[in-house]
Amino acid sequence: MVHMGIGYDVHALVEGRKLILGGVEIPHSKGLDGHSDADVLLHAICDAIFGALGEDDIGHFFPNTNPRWKNSPSKIFLEEAARQVVFHQAKIVNVDATIIAQQPKLLPHIPTMKANIAAALKINFKRVGIKATTNEHLGFLGREEGIAAMAVASIDLPT
């Protein structure tokens, strides 16, 4: 039976941090603030997968109170989500995500993001969808104060 999960993450943009999205370092004057590398795209995908499995969210697996995860690459978190899929004897059907960022332009980086995600999840590149949009200059995202991502995952989970 196919189960669906949804994930969302948002982090503030700050000076002095690298901008990492989908495991890709994006040239930009600011990066995302967070305990780990603050990769909102990978965090949203993790939560979508955990949700489809009926598990707790990313904070349960990787609490931001644990110094072990300080500045960690979020690829580690996504690989754990993939391990949880195997543990549940399930299979990822697909993941689909949208990044909401006024700047920078992300289209040139999407193929590499998809490749990183597919590799971490051990799924075909074509089973990963990533889109990028702006917030049309509205709200904190439109004022370039942060970046958000939302994701869905479908998992074939045995009954």
- Written as tens digits, the pLDDT of the chain (159 aa) is 999 999 999 999 999 999 999 999 999 999 999 999 999 999 999 999 999 999 999 999 888 888 787 889 999 999 999 999 999 999 999 999 999 999 999 999 999 999 999 999 999 999 999 999 999 999 999 999 999 999 999 999 997
Cα torsion 118, 123, 127, 128 to 10°: value is -20
The whole-angstrom separation of Cα 12 and Cα 140 is 9
Within 10 A of 24 (CB to CB), how many other CB atoms are there?
Answer: 18
Enter the pTM of the model. 0.96
- Please say whether the beta carbons of 157 and 118 come within 8 A: no
Q: Which residues of 103-129 are buried (b: 16+ CB within 10 A; e: fewer)?
A: ebebeebbeebbebbbbbbebeeebbe
Give all domains of the chain, ordered by start, each with its CATH number.
Answer: 2-156 (3.30.1330.50)
Question: CA-CA distance, 88 to 155, in Å (whole number)?
Answer: 10
Q: How far apart are CA 148 and CA 119, in angstroms?
A: 23
pLDDT at 69: 79
Looking at residue 120, its pLDDT comes to 97
> What pLDDT is attached to residue 67?
76
For residue 31, what pLDDT is reported? Answer: 97
Distance of CA 77 to the CA centre of its chain: 9
Output the six-digit token pair for 5.
Answer: 């999960």
Strand runs (DSSP E) across 2-103, as ranges?
2-14, 19-21, 24-26, 31-32, 91-100
Identify the pLDDT of residue 116.
98
